[in-house]
Amino acid sequence: MVRVSRLQGKEFFVNPDMIEFIEETPDLVVTLISGKKIVVSGSADELVSKIIEYRIKTRTPLPDIISHEYPEDESEGRFSDYTSRLNRH
């Protein structure tokens, strides 16, 4: 589970396997596979980092989409430390 906060500051946990997509509109809107939308504080990059850390801790493989979300040159620098740590486990 990944800890997130509502805009008013109340914290709760989201199962990252239930997230369909994340968008900044400018608030961060998390859409679950059920269709439910949750508005949370922070940025998409922060939430993606939390999801990656969760997957590293649980040794759950990262979905292919993580490496394809960003242009090739940017994703290498942004996620290479996370993916290298994941590959060591």
CA 88 to chain centre: 21
Domain boundaries, position 15: 2-88
Into how many domains does the chain fold?
A: 1
Residue tagged 């740590």 (tokens): 85
| pTM confidence score | 0.65
Backbone φ, ψ for residue 35 (5° rounding): 100, -15
By three-state DSSP, how is residue 28 classified?
Answer: strand
Q: Is the pLDDT of residue 40 over 90?
A: yes
Over residues 41-50, the pLDDT tens digits come to 999 999 999 9
Detail the DSSP E strand segments found in the chain.
Answer: 2-5, 11-14, 19-24, 28-32, 37-40
Q: What does the pLDDT read at residue 81?
A: 57
How far is the C-alpha of 8 from the C-alpha of 32, rounded, in Å?
Answer: 20
Q: Is the pLDDT of residue 13 over 60?
A: yes
